[in-house]
Structure 1
């Protein structure tokens, strides 16, 4: 029987790459995008497009209702991939900017997931995959808002995993390092004259969005999905250093 997945942030990058591969593997893909023109484009490509703006509660409610209608309240998997970054020193951030960062990366994700949980629970074997980041377990100057939202997302995901275990739902977290997508171009910089950029050396370790695809497929299809999937050498190294180094030593590395 064909399995159905909803992927958020599906217009480009990781979401689009995963949608393409999962459809090739026989999945029915519901593709959620924020912009109406991207929804239309996904439908032209043969996906079932759904408009979703995680920062707008009414949009989340409408999207969830549409998913439930299309799936007859039976959903096999949810890939919470959508998100964006606000970059800049903390002292340049307004309360509104910080709230919007959390609204998209956490609050909207929470709302959508809770609305779809009954449709995932009915199988006794649902899967939920979260796109976090290397910034979900380390923080660097200028990326405090984004890192805080991803730290929170990881804690939320860990709790969700434990709470949903009795329903047979497996929750996995993808932790990409530098990935070449439109994310960087779409970052909201609080200081446009002093934008936060990745160090030049990061380019050597930057991979394409296809690097995430195999991890997502394993999380969705393996009988033993991992709890966390670091992606790129940077993510693997930082995961090890965070466990081994004293906090002050790690600070010196991350401050550059």
Structure 2
């Protein structure tokens, strides 16, 4: 029997590349998306796709039940990848904006993990890989909501790894830097919904920096930007290595931030990251 993996956030970008690559390598891939229309598209491309919306507890439970029904009650691996960004200055986040992004980028991850773990305990093995970010290592202006979900996710993932270190279940983090995806375009509706930038004390920052970058149509690649396949390469190592790494950095900026956090004081790191 082929090994099975449930991957979230497969409509585009990192999840899309991972689902197609592993499918071609013979994995039994369950590629989930938040919207049915995206699942329908993936099915025409040969993938087994079903709806899973992190913000909907019933959706998570139903998706996992469908997966287990098709595998006979087993699941070899889970790759938590789906997430969204909420641009804006911290001072301008309404409470509901933070609640919405935490539901998806954090609470949904661990709701799904906690439902998968009994399956992996019973079968005696499993791998759980969470997709974090360079923004789970260092903070950048106007990314506070996304930063905070990734910081929190890293903390919970590290704790889970400690708690399961004497079990045959491996817990890994993948930490991409700039990757060629449409996360910026998908962040626009969230910005428009929650951020009243015209009334903000930081209006000039929005006008001069954030909005031109967020809505740019002809952008040059970010420093160190790589295709989604670079993330999939690290994912495959995490899935197949006899001794997977706790953390996988992807892109030069991620390595740079990781090194700077170890070598620089907080004030010095603030000076560097504050220019970005």
Does TM, normalized by the shorter one, top 0.5? yes
Q: Is the 8 A contact 2:140 2:274 kept in 1?
A: yes
Q: 1:166 aligns to what SS in structure 2? A: coil
Structure 1 residues 180-203: Cα deviation after superposition (integer angstroms, max 9, x where no partner): 1011111132356723648x8862
- Indicate how the Cα distance of structure 1 residues 201 and 239 shifts in structure 2: closer, same or farther if over 3 A, else same: farther
Conservation of the 8 A alpha-carbon contact between 1:88 and 1:191 = no
Q: Is 1:90 the equivalent of 2:93?
A: no
| Residue segments in structure 1 that go unaligned for 5+ positions in a row | none
CA RMSD of aligned residues (A): 1.8
**2:153 counterpart of 1:153:** yes
Within 1, Cα distance between the matches of 2:84 and 2:169? 26
Quote the residue 1:27 is aligned against: 27
1:218 aligns with 2:237: yes
**Alpha-carbon deviation of 1:19?**
1.1
How many residues of Structure 1 are paired with residues of Structure 2 in the alignment? Answer: 256
Q: Which residue does 2:266 correspond to in 1?
A: 247
User: Where does residue 179 of structure 1 map in the other structure?
Assistant: 179
**Separation (CA, whole Å) in 1 of partners of 2:121 and 2:80:** 17
Counterpart position of 2:42: 42
For the residue of structure 2 that corresponds to 1:30, the secondary structure is: strand
* Post-superposition CA distance 1:192-231 (Å, at most 9, x none): 6723648x88623111111111100000000111110111
Q: Which has the larger Rg? A: 2
TM-score by length of 1: 0.95
Tell whether 2:231 aligns with 1:231. no
Cα distance change, pair 192–176 in 1 and its aligned pair in 2 (3 A): farther
Q: Tell me, in whole angstroms, the C-alpha distance in 2 between the residues paired with 1:118 and 1:70.
A: 17
The correspondence of residues 100-119 of structure 1 with structure 2, limited to 5 A, is 100-119=100-119
Distance 1:218 1:192, change over 3 A: farther
Tell me if the contact between 1:6 and 1:29 (Cα under 8 Å) persists in the aligned partners: yes
Residues 50-96 of structure 1 deviation map (CA, whole Å, 9 limit, x = unaligned): 10110111211211221221222200000000111111101110000
1-structure distance, mates of 2:122, 2:165: 13
Corresponding residue SS for 2:166: helix
> Hey, what's the Cα distance between the residues in 1 that align with 2:20 and 2:59?
25
Residue 21 of structure 1 aligns to a residue whose secondary structure is helix
Unaligned 5+ segments in structure 2 are 199-205
